[in-house]
Amino acid sequence: MGRLTGKVAIITGGAGGIGAATGRLFCEEGCRIALVDVTAETLSDVAREIRSAVPDAEILEIPADVGDESAARPIVERTLDAFGQVDILVNIAGIRSYELLADAKAETWQKILGVNLLSYAYLAKEALPALRKAEKGSIVNVSSTHAVNPRAGMGQYDVTKAGILSLTKTLAFEEVEHGVRVNAVCPGLTLTPFHVKRANAAGRTEQDLRTEKVDHNIQKRWADAREVAYPILWLASDEASFVTASTLMVDGGTRV
């Protein structure tokens, strides 16, 4: 018996580093998953890798732009059609913007708010009837340490991550009577394909990132995406039955 045996989860941002690691770990723990991401090809690659590592994995691939409100209902409906239930929603989808707030464009605000914050609200709204029916429903929202430690030059991103924490607490307060728990995870410096690609463009390798000493946190290293997936797994599982409206820092002791 895995820790999520008999449960079904929707995971957005499923083709990204943390999303892919979470999808694989959930499958290892007996969960059936709907993996959602905007790029169908990358999503299929991730699903293929998970199936190779976990031969009995049950994965529904759903290519969708979660920043579009109209995508939320079909995602939930397709999951229910395939698996008959939804017990867990993990919101991970996110995009970045590198604009000073003084130069931030309206279209950039609209796009980043849509994906990084509003998609969490859209998916939660559509999934709540099924999560309530599950009686032990769980939502895990992935934010960032920069929700509480914002930076110059990425204000739009950091604002959305702060909004996720507020959304998480409010939703937890509203849904407690329905048996749905809502929590957030704030990852710190995490080694994902996004960062590897940026490093490659600068002439550095993934191994360089894995072995370098960083000042970002007191452990002086990058996290592997699986190290973030484990806390998500715990919050999603019944092991965390007395945990709601909480924010878990998964950051190696990030320096403020």
Q: State the residue for tokens 């340490």.
A: 145
Determine whether 120 is an active site residue.
Answer: no
- Please tell me the predicted confidence (pLDDT) of residue 256: 65
3-state secondary structure of 67: coil
Q: What is the mean pLDDT of each run of 10 residues along the chain (256 residues)?
A: 97 96 98 98 97 98 98 98 98 95 96 98 98 97 95 95 98 98 95 80 83 88 93 98 98 85
**C-beta separation of 63 from 37 below 8 A:** yes
Judge contact between 6 and 32, C-beta under 8 A: no
Domains of the chain: 8-250 (3.40.50.720)
According to the model, what pLDDT value does residue 195 have? Answer: 77
| pLDDT given at position 1 | 84
Q: Active-site residue among 98, 120, 122, 157? A: 157
pLDDT at residue 190 in the model? 85
The tokens describing 128, both together, are 């709540």
Cβ atoms of 89 and 36 closer than 8 Å: no
Q: What angle, 0 to 180 degrees and rounded to 10, lies between the N-to-C axes of helices 72-83 and 119-134?
A: 30
